[in-house]
Chain A
């Protein structure tokens, strides 16, 4: 199937040609990949960077005296510089490579949380947390005897901020929340909320897993102390995540994982820590994937994040319009595509999202069905799950049409 595009901001045909996986078929149908909020696909340029690394300069970093080690070290640190520039971090020293968003949040929960949250203290989260930004804090609260308070979600799928100030108390130590909801698509007014928290001396963390890949973000403008995201959701490889943190905090914090690479001097009695950011990168890191992640950032930079965002708004607006035209579709999240990322969560008549997902799969359409790792939010919405289509730079309105045809097929099946 040739993808014709009416798109104005991105040359989607050219983009699609960069993604080998988009050529494949699933059950004999062209793949229509609409599960980008779970993980994105990988362009040739990123795959090439991986191959180049293993074919020509695979070596351990930071301690090799040979040429390969120097090249690998330079490429790894260059990737860190690219990340720092991409998110507007003041310096590469505040960019720590982790395995993923989840590990970045856990790093904060252990290295910062264990030292700064105590009995009777309070943590503010939202009702729309991904389990990754919920369980680490629940464990911390349980261990320390701290309490968690939640910013509520309105029926429109936005945060209830009318009584935000009432959620703070003199014991509030941390506010952590998602920049963009992975289940509802809601773009949260993080700047405003963080400003309120910071005014009260509360430390802040943003789960940016669904924001950094899809829109221009300047972490300093957002103002959070910590900001976490994953490479695999932004055209990069699996196995690399980022924790951005304000330097002063990182300097105060004790290490998270310990061992090689993160030390300066070791004796039988003890050790001193390496400089930032290596103090938080114990052991041999994921060198190859971090370098390839740098190529993913180059790719997104070349497209321009403002264009990426415009493209997603267009595709999302079209999907919302088509879905709204079906009587028994229930949509979740903000009505206005400008207020949401490229995520569309819905239910279809009395069909269960799993059944919808299975039938769509047989048409080559990959969506997500279930609770999207946000079980408490699903309870708020009064559902056990939703079907979720999520878009990225290579998706087209024609693919939304295929999704709609698949939904028709699902309905016919269960009639």
Chain B
């Protein structure tokens, strides 16, 4: 294998496991449970057994509190942690927009500028590992379900 090829692969792995992703994996934010959640939803990735439960407590139109719990690979868990940081305190409408933008980025949608998503851009490297994309989006789909439940009540 050429040196260029080596470097390309190393850098793809580095892209997958960006420092910020490892940091969230090692030091999860908002991990735990809420005392009075408005809704709680459990998401599982049947293929690999990743589990993420998202709890939300609405404060009027805002996402007052959010927490997640679960177990799984570094990508699924750090994505959950980064998500809670990104949406905490936002309005429900803003959170929904972010879910749409994030999942569009993971699909490789050209209309999305990853850099506009702040830290979440770090997860765009996962796109080069198609089997891992579901790991990255699990928490986000779970949040969408939790918000739907919370708003339905």
Binding site for B on A (CB under 8 A): 25, 27-29, 352-355, 358-359, 362, 369-371, 375, 378, 384-385, 413-414
The residue that A362 contacts in the complex, of B9, B72, B74, B75, with Cβ under 8 A, is B9
Residues of B within 8 A of A28 (CB): 1, 5-6, 9
Say yes or no: B73 contacts A352, CB within 8 Å. yes
Q: What are some 12 contacts across the A-B interface (CB < 8 A)?
A: A27-B9, A28-B6, A28-B9, A354-B50, A354-B73, A354-B135, A355-B74, A362-B13, A371-B49, A384-B50, A385-B49, A414-B17
B16 at the interface (CB under 8 A from A): yes
Binary A-proximity of B1-23 (CB < 8 A = 1, otherwise 0): 10001100100110011000010
Question: Which A residue sits closest to B74, measured CB to CB?
Answer: A355
Residues of B within 8 A of A385 (CB): 48-49
Binding site for A on B (CB under 8 A): 1, 5-6, 9, 12-13, 16-17, 22, 47-51, 71-75, 129, 132, 135
Question: Which B residue sits closest to A379, measured CB to CB?
Answer: B49
The residue that A378 contacts in the complex, of B47, B49, B129, with Cβ under 8 A, is B49
Say yes or no: A384 contacts B9, CB within 8 Å. no
Say yes or no: A370 contacts B13, CB within 8 Å. no
Say yes or no: B49 contacts A384, CB within 8 Å. yes
Say yes or no: A370 contacts B6, CB within 8 Å. no
Known: A354-B74, A362-B13. 9 other contacts (CB 8 A): A29-B1, A354-B73, A355-B73, A358-B132, A370-B49, A371-B48, A378-B49, A384-B50, A385-B49
Given A359-B13, A362-B13, A413-B17, A354-B48 contact (CB < 8 Å):
yes
Residues of A within 8 A of B5 (CB): 28
Given A28-B5, A378-B49, A354-B75 contact (CB < 8 Å):
yes
Q: How far is the CB of A185 from chain B (nearest CB, A)?
A: 19
Residues of A within 8 A of B12 (CB): 362
Say yes or no: A352 contacts B9, CB within 8 Å. no
Question: Which B residue sits closest to A371, measured CB to CB?
Answer: B49
Complex Cα spacing A370 to B73, Å: 10
Residues of B within 8 A of A378 (CB): 49
Say yes or no: B17 contacts A384, CB within 8 Å. no
Residues of A within 8 A of B135 (CB): 354
Complex Cα spacing A369 to B131, Å: 12
Q: How far is the CB of A131 from chain B (nearest CB, A)?
A: 10
Say yes or no: A384 contacts B71, CB within 8 Å. yes
Complex Cα spacing A29 to B9, Å: 11
Complex Cα spacing A371 to B17, Å: 23
Residues of A within 8 A of B73 (CB): 352-355
Given A27-B9, A28-B9, A358-B16 contact (CB < 8 Å):
yes
Residues of A within 8 A of B71 (CB): 384
Say yes or no: A358 contacts B48, CB within 8 Å. no
Complex Cα spacing A207 to B129, Å: 34
Given A29-B1, A362-B13, A413-B13, A370-B74 contact (CB < 8 Å):
no
